[in-house]
Structures are given as structure tokens and as C-alpha cells.
Structure 1
Amino acid sequence: MIIKELNGNKPNYGKNCFFAENSVVVGDVSMGDDCSVWFNAVIRGDVHYIKIGNKVNVQDGAVIHATYQKSPTTIGNNVSIGHNALVHGCTVHDNVLIGMGAIVMDDCIVESNSIIAAGAVVTKGTVIPSGSVYAGTPAKKIKDIDQELIAGEIDRIANNYIKYSGWYK
């Protein structure tokens, strides 16, 4: 793993975090407890800050970045960032699943209890209302989320990644 200080900003993280050997975390990055950063994932806080809550998994090949002096990235608690997803200069609230290969662009807000489907492209400045499932390019609401999706997808994946990371420790 590469955890690199840059311009006086050193990444910090809480308890019980896992970093795969080839993951990269650089600069002004803070993350809470029970987080995991998987193989080839990059969290680059070089141009603005990135704040990540508790129980967040950043899966293989995902990239979290920001926009220079303009748009930081903030990610809440109990969030899964799917394989090869791109989360850039936006705000993601609690209990969110960003699907594999999805893109969430600058100044977007993804409110709590939402799912961004695999491959979706959430264009600049979009607000995803709480309790929504968005899919497509550009991403559009396809349905309201139900308790089964929250428990069966959002919570299940976040909890599984804590278990998976334990296998590597």
C-alpha cells in the first residue's frame, strides 16, 4: 500500500481499516473506522480534501478524487464504492451503494439510502434524492428504494466487506 503525505497533508484513518498492498491513499484524506481500500484503488487528496466516514469500502480499481480548489469529496458512513467506480468532487451521504463502473461527477449530492446502479453516469451537479435508485447514462431515477434493497444490498455489501477485509489481516 502507498499512504503518502503530500504538501504537508498526511492521510489519516481510524481503527480496523484494511489497505490492499497496491492501494494508494495520498494527501488530505481522512477516513473513519472499519474502512477498506482494495486492490488498485486510488484515493487522491492532492488537489482538495477527501473525507470518508466509517464502514466505507472502496473496491478494486475505484478512484476517489476532487477538483482543485473547487470541489472536495465527502463520503458518509456505511457506503460501498463498487469496482472501477469513479467518485469525483461530490458528496455521498450515509447508506449508499455506488455500483461497479459508475461515475459520480463534481458537485453531485447523493442523499442517504440510495443506489447508483452499475455503469450509471451521474452528471455534474445532479442531486440524487434520498431513497432513490438511479441508473443509465445520464443517470435517471428508475424507482424508489425499499427496505429489502437497503438490507439486501446496501447493508449486506458494507457488512461483507468488513468480513472480507478480515480475511487479509
Structure 2
Amino acid sequence: MKLDASIFVHPSAVLHGNVTVGKYSSIWANAVIRADFNTIAIGRYTNIQDHATIHCSPTNPTVIGDFVTAAHSSIMHACTVGNRVMIGMGATILDGARIGDGTMIAANALVRENMNVPPNSLVVGVPGRILEGKGRPEFIEQNAISYYVLSRKYMEGVDSISPAELLSLMQKFEAQD
């Protein structure tokens, strides 16, 4: 597997099989991305945080869009995740589920098999309940940008950043865009 030099992969992360990762994305400590049955495609500026697990099935690949945050200990299995999506800590997305752009999956929520979540929604609870029109795409993109900025610092050998410096670097990023 060949990854672009712009991608940050923590040394303890595991990427196995037919995995592609878009430019400027980051894979954090102890994340596991295993494409042993099918393909996994991760978009640009996407962050896969600590202990997140991404897998596929023989019948379904996993596709994750641009500017996605997959928070700590989240699980994505053989599903499709749109752009500017936030998957909360401990949330699980099961086989065949489709998550629309600008959607937030709450912490510990369960997105059931083959569930279709419309764009700009919020999914809460177990099993997941869809609240349409409650997504926050601007907030989601800001979070993805903050992880992009943090990953650049890690790549420079800096392992912490002040809130003021983070905000300043995020503003510079947005001014370029």
C-alpha cells in the first residue's frame, strides 16, 4: 500500500489490505483499518481517531468521504459515509448503511444495517433515531480542519499545540481555502 506523503499515520495504527486514503487525512493511535475482504476508501482531510475500527465485508466495501471525523473508538463496517460527517465516540455504523453529507452520528449511537440517513441529520440512540435537519456541517468541517492542523504538527515532531495556536492555524487554513 502506498500512501501520499501528506497523510499522517500514527506508528501504532494498522492499515491492511486494499485501503486508499485521500490527501491530508490522518490515522491516529491504535486505529485499525482492515480491507481483507473488499476495499476501504477514505477521502481527503478525514481523521480516523484513536481506537477507531474500519472494516468491510465480502459484499460491501467501506467508503468514507472528505472532511469526516471518525471519533475515538467508533466502528464503521461495510458502510458508506458522505462528506462532512462526524461519527461520535463509540458510535457504530453497520453493513449497508448510508450516511448523508453533513450528518452527525452521536456518541455511542447505533446505525443499523442498511439504514439510510438523509443529509444534514443527527442520529441518536440505540437503535439510532434520525433527527432530520439537525446536522451541523460547518462545525463538522471545523473539527476536521483542527485534526488536519494537529496532524501537520505531529509530522513536524511537535506533539502538543496550544488552543490559541490551533485557532490561529485553522484561520490561516480557512483563509487559503
TM-score (norm 1): 0.88
Q: CA deviation at 1:52?
A: 1.0
Whether the 8 Å CA contact 2:120–2:137 is kept in 1: the answer is no
**Radius of gyration: which is bigger?**
2
Judge conservation of contact 1:31–1:52 (CA < 8 Å) in 2.
yes
Q: Which of 91, 115, 130 is residue 80 of structure 2 equivalent to?
A: 91
Taking every aligned residue pair, what percent have the same amino acid on both sides?
Answer: 34
Equivalent residue in structure 2 for 1:151, among 104, 126, 138? 138
Structure-2 residue corresponding to 1:3: none
* Structure 1 match to 2:154: 168
Secondary structure of the residue aligned to 2:107 is: coil
The alpha-carbon deviation at position 142 of structure 1 amounts to 3.0
Kept in 2, the 8 Å contact 1:132–1:145? The answer is yes
Partner secondary structure for residue 21 of structure 1: coil
In 1: Cα distance, 2:60 partner to 2:141 partner: 28
Alpha-carbon separation, structure 2, partners of 1:61 and 1:40: 5
Shift of 1:13: 2.8
**Greater shift in the superposed pair: 79-88 or 137-146:** 137-146
- Out of 34, 44, 49, which is 1:44 matched to? 34
TM-score, L = length of structure 2 = 0.84
Task: State the match for 1:32 in structure 2.
Answer: 22
Shift of 1:108: 0.3
Query: What is the alpha-carbon distance in structure 2 between the residues aligned to residue 133 and residue 15 of structure 1?
Result: 34
Whether 1:60 and 2:88 are equivalent positions in the alignment is no
- Choose which of 62, 79, 101 in structure 1 pairs with 2:68: 79
Equivalent residue letter for 1:157: N
Moved over 2 A (4+): 11-15
Q: Offset of 1:15 from its aligned partner?
A: 4.1
Cα distance in structure 1, aligned partners of 2:20 and 2:137: 26
* Root mean square deviation, CA, Å: 1.1
**Counterpart secondary structure, 2:11:** coil
The answer to whether the Cα contact below 8 Å between 1:113 and 1:145 also exists between their aligned partners in 2 is no
2:11 maps to what in 1?
A: 21
Unaligned runs of 5+ in 1: 1-10
Which structure is higher in strand share? 1
Q: Is the 8 A contact 1:12 1:31 kept in 2?
A: no
